[in-house]
């Protein structure tokens, strides 16, 4: 199979030419002004291709930075930027490790802001379904072209005065081929340059040849972060009132303003690799999903690859890097957050991880829960909003390392902290950003241009009640319904508060790049493709609690017992029984040897009242939120579930 992923290698680019012209912000003189008038501190403008130059010049004219730095992504450059950040007091070295840093953000800029994340299309229905009866849409936010123009005009002109503009050319897969798509990102915050080096691949040479006319090098997406400063906290510029993360999928553009937090400003991640890419995937017939990818090898040495979609901060990184507790099993990591998947000419679904690093949630990560992540982050890692010890280490809730005598902790807010204090030492959404290559269990094929063959897809979420440890969908359509009906307790990854159980279809609710009803049609259409081998679909829930509020299942490495059953089901083993919600492991089919006491009956119980209520909630949500865009196949699945639950 020849380079299956040629067409979906992508990057994030701001086409200011399109952007400024489309928003009538074109600064006269772009074409006449000499390039030399721009102060270029690093790199050579003349060597850039015409559209890249235009991107730089028009962006500079619009935002008026003091000078321009064209990044090349080299180690030397990275070190220079780190030294500058340290001098400016924006980051601090964690002296116990090699090249590890701590950044503290403005405490108002700590998570994705879904309320300020919008998609711009001509028609609202191209972005979101129109909810029934004027209800508020929960499946994304649409902004009209006119409002967007106004929003841009309010924010961008002159917003970089006195600052450097960076130009970062990158792509999201290491292999360059003649159809590779590249792009540009122009972050204002140097902090973002160093996190970009981690998360994306540099493509400085290739971007020289970017051209509008050459289809092989279409500029595919765009992004820019411009930040204005009100009152600087922690030397972290941001503008929470004016934050806007805007996507124009028709032009493959992203325009982000006001937040430096990863999910809002690392534009190659959620903005491009999910929102814009899901739209490209729909147009081109593949899937861009919020999924980890792992390889699992059984004791006989046979290997399978599985993709899994859980909402943010529900353990994707832990599962992707798991050390199985079952003897003889091995898990290898392909990616922990995003999967781009496409059927190959043999009908197999193949996946790549478009990222080059991990941007993982720190609290809860420990040698017990994720030893491979702990080993990954001991060097070359940027930490954001974790706590630090006076001997130069990182620290957070759930790190499971007792503090030796004499060791003191400074919280993410820069205050002295001690165990037992009311507030956490690390922000619950504090992060580590580390190169994937440092993970000791990266899969040998994690950068293969052909991707890895996916045999199973797992959906899951935090469900304290009613949802069993694992079940398997009856078939593809039912599996698509299981993804549609996904719900999970809110986490700190976005601005939602409290432990409310939210609907989060496919774990994509914050990341859909187009109308969810059409996204469902796209998933359903996979079944009608000629000669494809559809993966089996499963649902897991590691988070069910007993009546005292304790987790019923130990999780982490013990989840290998569930993967073992899934592995055998993928092999066609008859080890399941049918229930109203799907197939569950037959008695004795889960390997529980050496597990200790777990109330399996409770873990797999299906309380009738719970499922009656669940059906009602799903119906209300789908009828209200997806309304006339709900595919009839999904209504039929809902009715079938309702009937089965009635007979329970
Ligand atoms: C993430 C998220 O950062 O899902 O991966 O919020
Ligand atoms: Mn994520």
What is the DSSP-derived secondary structure letter of residue 534? P
Provide the pLDDT confidence category of residue 556 given band limits of 50, 70 and 90.
Answer: very high
C-alpha to C-alpha distance for 366 and 364, rounded to whole angstroms? 6
166 catalytic? Reply is: no
pLDDT exceeds 50 at position 352: yes
Q: Which tens digit of pLDDT belongs to each residue from 14-36?
A: 333 333 333 333 333 334 344 44
Helix (H), strand (E) counts: the chain: 17, 32
Q: Which tens digit of pLDDT belongs to each residue from 438-454?
A: 999 999 999 888 899 99
C-alpha to C-alpha distance for 586 and 222, rounded to whole angstroms? 50
Q: What is the pTM of this model?
A: 0.91
Q: What angle do CA 184, 188, 191 make, to 5 degrees?
A: 100
261 catalytic? Reply is: yes
Architecture of domain 114-272: 3-Layer(aba) Sandwich (3.40)
Q: Is the backbone of residue 594 left (phi > 0), alpha (psi -120 to 50) or beta? A: left
Instruction: Write out the residue limits of the CATH 2.170.8.10 domain(s) in the chain.
Output: 359-438
Q: Which pLDDT belongs to residue 448?
A: 87
Nearest CA to ligand 1 atom 2: 312
Test site for ligand 1: of 265, 267, 269, 270, most ligand atoms within 8 A of the Cβ: 270
The number of the ligand 1 atom at minimal distance from the alpha carbon of 263 is: 3
Q: In this structure, is the dihedral angle defined by the CA atoms of residues 31, 35, 41 and 46, taken in order, positive or negative?
A: positive
Instruction: Write out the residue limits of the CATH 3.90.228.20 domain(s) in the chain.
Output: 288-353+446-606
Q: Which pLDDT belongs to residue 208?
A: 42
Q: Which tens digit of pLDDT belongs to each residue from 354-368?
A: 888 999 999 999 999
The number of the ligand 1 atom at minimal distance from the alpha carbon of 316 is: 5
Q: Which pLDDT belongs to residue 188?
A: 62
Q: Which tens digit of pLDDT belongs to each residue from 314-351?
A: 999 999 999 999 999 999 999 999 999 999 999 999 99
- The class (CATH top level) of 359-438 is mainly beta
Pocket of ligand 1 (CB under 6 A): 112, 263, 312, 337, 359, 493
Nearest CA to ligand 1 atom 3: 263
337 catalytic? Reply is: yes
Which helix (H) or strand (E) segment holds residue 152: the answer is helix 145-155
The backbone torsions φ and ψ at residue 359, rounded to the nearest 5 degrees and listed phi first, read -120, 75
Cα of 511 vs centre of ligand 1, distance in Å, is 10
Instruction: Write out the residue limits of the CATH 3.40.449.10 domain(s) in the chain.
Output: 114-272
What is the DSSP-derived secondary structure letter of residue 438? G
- Residue 385 CB contacts under 8 Å (≥ 6 apart), including other chains: 103, 104, 105, 110, 412, 426, 427, 429, 430, 431
Provide the pLDDT confidence category of residue 435 given band limits of 50, 70 and 90.
Answer: very high
* Cβ neighbours, 10 Å, residue 632: 8
433 catalytic? Reply is: no
Cα of 270 vs centre of ligand 1, distance in Å, is 7
The backbone torsions φ and ψ at residue 63, rounded to the nearest 5 degrees and listed phi first, read -100, -15
Q: Which pLDDT belongs to residue 61?
A: 77
**Range in 198-202, 225-229, 604-608 with the lowest mean pLDDT:** 225-229
Cα of 313 vs centre of ligand 1, distance in Å, is 7
Q: Domain spanning 288-353+446-606 has what CATH number?
A: 3.90.228.20
DSSP E strand stretches across 312-451: 330-335, 339-343, 349-352, 357-361, 382-384, 387-389, 394-395, 409-410, 416-417, 431-435
312 catalytic? Reply is: yes
270 catalytic? Reply is: yes
Cα of 195 vs centre of ligand 1, distance in Å, is 14
Give, rounded to a whole angstrom, the gap between the first and last alpha carbons of the chain. Answer: 48
């Amino acid at each position: 199979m020849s380079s299956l992923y040629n067409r979906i290698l992508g990057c994030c680019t701001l086409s200011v030419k399109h952007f400024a012209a489309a928003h009538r912000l074109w600064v006269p003189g772009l074409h006449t002004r000499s390039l030399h008038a721009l102060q270029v501190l690093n790199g050579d403008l003349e060597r850039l291709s015409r559209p890249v130059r235009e991107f730089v010049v028009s962006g500079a004219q619009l935002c008026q930075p003091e000078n321009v730095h064209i990044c090349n992504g080299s180690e030397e450059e990275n070190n220079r930027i780190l030294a500058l950040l340290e001098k400016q007091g924006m980051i601090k070295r964690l002296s116990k490790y090699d090249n590890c840093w701590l950044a503290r953000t403005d405490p108002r800029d700590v998570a994705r802001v879904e309320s300020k994340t919008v998609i711009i299309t001509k028609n609202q229905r191209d972005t979101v379904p129109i909810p029934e009866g004027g209800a508020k849409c929960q499946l994304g936010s649409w902004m009209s072209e006119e409002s967007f123009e106004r929003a841009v005009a309010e924010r961008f002109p002159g917003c970089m005065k006195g600052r450097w503009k960076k130009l970062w050319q990158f792509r999201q897969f290491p292999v360059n081929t003649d159809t590779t798509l590249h792009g540009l990102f122009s972050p204002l915050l140097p902090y973002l340059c160093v996190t970009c080096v981690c998360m994306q691949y540099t493509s400085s040479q290739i971007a020289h040849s970017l051209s509008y006319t050459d289809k092989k090098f279409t500029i595919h997406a765009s992004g820019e972060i411009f930040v204005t400063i009100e009152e600087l906290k922690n030397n972290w510029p941001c503008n929470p009132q004016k934050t806007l993360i805007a996507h124009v999928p028709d032009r493959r553009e992203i325009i982000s303003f006001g937040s430096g937090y990863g999910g809002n400003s690392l534009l190659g991640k959620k903005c491009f690799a999910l929102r814009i890419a899901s739209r490209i995937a729909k147009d081109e017939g593949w899937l861009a999903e919020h999924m980890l990818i792992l390889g699992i090898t059984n004791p006989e040495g046979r290997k399978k690859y599985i993709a899994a979609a859980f909402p943010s901060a529900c353990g994707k990184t832990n599962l992707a890097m798991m050390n199985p507790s079952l003897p003889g099993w091995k898990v290898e990591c392909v990616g922990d957050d995003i999967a781009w998947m496409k059927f190959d000419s043999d009908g197999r679904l193949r996946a790549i991880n478009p990222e080059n690093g991990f941007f993982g949630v720190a609290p809860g990560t420990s040698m017990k829960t994720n030893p491979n992540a702990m080993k990954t982050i001991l060097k070359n890692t940027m930490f954001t909003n974790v706590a630090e010890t006076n001997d130069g280490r990182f620290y957070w809730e759930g790190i499971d390392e007792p503090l030796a005598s004499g060791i003191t902790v400074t919280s993410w807010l820069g205050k002295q902290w001690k165990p037992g204090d009311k507030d956490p030492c690390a922000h619950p959404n504090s992060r580590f950003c580390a190169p994937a290559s440092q993970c000791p269990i990266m899969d040998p094929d994690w950068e293969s241009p052909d991707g890895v063959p996916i045999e199973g897809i797992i959906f899951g979420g935090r469900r304290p009640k009613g949802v069993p440890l694992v079940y398997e969908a009856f078939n593809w359509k039912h599996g698509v319904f299981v993804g549609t009906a996904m719900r999970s307790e809110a986490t700190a990854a976005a601005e939602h508060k409290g432990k409310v159980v939210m609907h989060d279809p496919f774990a994509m609710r914050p990341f859909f790049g187009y109308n969810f009803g059409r996204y469902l049609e796209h998933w359903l259409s996979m079944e009608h493709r000629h000669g494809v081998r559809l993966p089996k679909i499963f649902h897991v829930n590691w988070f069910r609690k007993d009546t005292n509020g304790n987790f019923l299942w130990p999780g982490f490495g013990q989840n290998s017992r569930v993967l073992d059953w899934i592995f055998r089901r993928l092999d066609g083993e008859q080890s399941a029984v049918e229930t109203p919600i799907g197939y569950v492991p037959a008695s004795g089919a889960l390997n529980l040897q050496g597990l200790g006491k777990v109330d399996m009956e409770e873990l797999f119980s299906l309380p009738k009242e719970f499922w009656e209520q669940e059906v009602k909630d799903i119906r209300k949500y789908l009828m209200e939120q997806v309304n006339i865009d709900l595919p009839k196949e999904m209504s039929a699945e809902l009715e079938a579930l309702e009937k089965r639950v009635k007979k329970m």
